[in-house]
Structure 1
């Protein structure tokens, strides 16, 4: 599953689509190729049996963020879907404490946006809590997460959480996950007809507006406004979800520009939606370069063995454009932005901030 070309990147649609559509739309093209070439296989129920490689001498304070430059390797029209390993599911680096401190008040003060539980997703929430909080974190990061009796202590923050789901509400399980890892999780659960529907989430760093009203919608319903989705993909994504084997991990990176600050919790997104009542503020045309950032999402998809829920994991990174330029990548980023198809550039608001940002990125240091 290497790079996959796609040329339909929603020129219109509701703001919420920003969260899942880029990954699912790209995945659909991979699905089409895979289903043509692979023989049908029975769906096997199995545990996530990949070994978790322990990082025994790990010090998150000395770890730089991964080197992400998707604008160099995949642009916006090649999606770069690749296989991942279980050990790569959750990442830690020297920015961990700052971002956890950014997440805590969001979980406490904005639960209507950040926490989504419910009867249809609760079994999957419990299963993911077991996989991430009980099995994964102490095994992968033994210098950060220590099991002590019936609890696990996060040595970086000093907080503790239960080593069991007994006695916890499902909202509490989501909150504990949000308080200990930087990744957001979206739960796509199969219904009686085999359609996968968004049923829950822990989403502290959404790149767009996540409406509770979208919970319960299928992938097809979420993408209804996306031009070409039904014609090109149809039920391919749902079929692929049904065929996924627990233990497989696939991922990619998505990127955009954010020209009004570094905050990761965004309810308005960084995109333009024609035909809506969206108001574009004047600062988009003359942004402060100090407030301009490259926003990159590391996205992973996997399937849980017990509930068959598909988990969409998103880890977000922010880099000042000043840093991108100082590292010699300004012209490469500008070239990637300028190479966007017209519809995509319009969607990404290039027509607003591009007049100022692109010439500046092209300047010699």
Structure 2
């Protein structure tokens, strides 16, 4: 399931999540020679001392009903190599906008009815789950969004949904902590924990909106193992990504926008694979080659990577957005999107099934709105 980690900038083919590696290669190239990886500047001798990027800025007059989703056009600004890596602050970790209530309502039945796919715990990750609960649910949400999350003694009430959750981890199971996180924020969280062999491995998750892979099947896999099917990952990215993981410091926040096309509907929960594996006897459905234009969407992910200070688990955070391709074209961006698709490396485009839906969508996108 966890092909979700970092993907290519132009991850085409209905939306499977792809590599966490390209993100880091881009980072390395942007900042210079390998080994000189970017880190936030720390003041003082202690790595735990909070600098300005780690502070949470309260939004005192925030009304989520009046907030539009962030403006994103990564296909216009990100190249296949650089991918638009940016430094993030802690305040940018979680985002809330006017679609918040609807998407939370979409997550609730997934957590309740598809628990085996959406929640992952275990002895190697449970301490990190408790730490993330403290970071997000106790320290972050009531401070960042005081007009939504209000403290009442031992509880925090979500004024947007009318629900409440504990202001402590005491008495909560890891499953409950993940469920509370999934019921209050739109972001999905994936836990990469350091194993005895020195590898960071996927050990847990709250994944209501996975991008086309089955999370339970990827638990225990290293970053390299997760991305083994991705063309060029091992030869170009594997070592650099491993080095970056080993050098991350608590308090680092980096992020980017990732995008792909989804040509068979708007639902965000996908555990089926939409990438092309020529070495298997994979059946390709007819709708991949002749999709209905009313079912074609641009899927964009806001991705953030950070490291927890106590357990040192690396948290991959994914926030997903969906835009109908009719809207992309109506806004005058159809040609830009088509050009970005055409410029993808052949192996990546083939891997993302562009050879199927591209025959119909590319000419249509190039037409004047």
Query: TM-score normalised to the size of structure 2?
Result: 0.89
Asked if 1:214 corresponds to 2:218, the answer is yes
Q: Does 1:246 align with 2:250?
A: yes
Counterparts of 1:6-155 in structure 2, within 5 Å, are: 18-19=16-17, 21-31=18-28, 33=32, 35-37=34-36, 45-46=47-48, 50-155=54-159
Change (3 A) 1:9 1:63: closer
Q: Which runs of 5+ in 2 are unaligned?
A: 1-6
| Cross-structure match for 1:326 | 330
Cα displacement string for residues 252-306 of structure 1 (whole angstroms, at most 9, x for unaligned residues):
1111111111000011244222212332110111111111100001100000000
Q: Compare 220-229 and 331-340 and name the one that shifted more.
A: 220-229
Whether the aligned pair in 2 keeps the contact of 1:47 and 1:305 (CA below 8 Å) is no
Correspondence 1:183-332 to 2 at 5 A: 183-332=187-336
State which drifts further: 349-358 or 93-102.
349-358
User: Deviations along 1:289-348, whole A, 9 cap, x unmatched?
Assistant: 111100001100000000000000000000001111111111111111122222222122
Q: What residue is the counterpart of 2:4 in the other structure?
A: none
Corresponding residue number in structure 1 for 2:3: none
* 55-64 vs 353-362, greater mean Cα deviation: 353-362
Which range moves more in the overlay, 210-219 or 34-43?
34-43
- Aligned partners of 1:207 and 1:266 also within 8 Å: yes
**CA displacement at 1:22 relative to structure 2:** 2.1
Aligned mates of 2:28, 2:88 — CA distance in 1: 17
Query: What is the alpha-carbon distance in structure 1 between the residues aligned to residue 362 and residue 11 of structure 2?
Result: 23
Q: Against the structure 1 CA distance between its residues 266 and 39, is the aligned structure 2 distance closer, same or farther, given a 3 Å change threshold?
A: closer
Aligned CA distance change for structure 1 residues 345 and 223 (closer, same or farther; 3 Å): closer
Aligned to 2:347, the other structure's residue is in SS state helix
1:161 alignment partner in structure 2: 165
How far apart in 2 are the matches of 1:130 and 1:106?
23
* RMSD, matched Cα: 2.7
Q: Larger deviation: 219-228 or 28-37?
A: 28-37
Change (3 A) 1:294 1:29: closer
Unpaired segments of 5 or more residues in structure 1? 1-5
Q: How many residues align?
A: 355
